[in-house]
Amino acid sequence: MDHGSKNFFEFSDPVEGMQGVIQLEPDRNQGRVDANSPPSTSANTTLDPYKSYCEVDTALVLQRIKKTLWPFDRRKFFENKGDLYGAFWVPTTLIFILSVAGTLATRISSDEGYAFDPTGIIITAGSVYFFVFAIPAVIYFVLFTGIDITYYDLLSLYGYSYFAFWPAAIISVVNFSLIRWLAFSIASIWSGLLIGKNYYNEVQFLVEWKKYVTIVISFSGYVGLTLIANFYLY
């Protein structure tokens, strides 16, 4: 018999005709927490779903960077899924290269002494980060509705695509406007071919106006960086 507690024991003796209930010694540890027991921890955290996008090694990042050098490769950019590690560090390194190259170019071209102006670097850094995160968001949430591709794959692909601007930023140290415009224009086309080749299969199923809007938005970040670098940084 339960009696609302485990501290009661029911007995019955059919020979003597006796039966009853005996109260047992109450468990003094009932309801207490064992001091030696390990504290309970939550099995999952809110960041767990995103950890897998940062679990990459150097070899994989270098392999994906090499793929940006030849956008005509028929293989998909990602074997399984993208990573946010390279998507962050590629444009971040580009900002550093642009700041150093822009400073050197300004010093070389300055005849009257040099005064450091951080405005161009601040504008460039803010613009690059905005392009990297905002453009994939617009493409995915507005244009790619119902398409089997994740926002993180688009973000990763778009971040890696800015590797083509590394050599353009270095070449632009040369104080020659035509070379600088040509270098950034080639980098823009190269990056655009990379992302276009990798989500062409998704774009071809969109309605006509979405196809053109996707192309324009995809190239807008590269064109914007080209204009900012030429007019504000160098």
Cβ pair 82, 152 in contact under 8 A? yes
Please report the pLDDT score of residue 41 as a whole number: 47
Please report the pLDDT score of residue 55 as a whole number: 76
Please report the pLDDT score of residue 42 as a whole number: 47
pTM of the model: 0.74
Residues of the chain where predicted confidence (pLDDT) is lower than 50 = 2-3, 5, 33, 35, 40-43
Please report the pLDDT score of residue 224 as a whole number: 94
Please report the pLDDT score of residue 142 as a whole number: 86
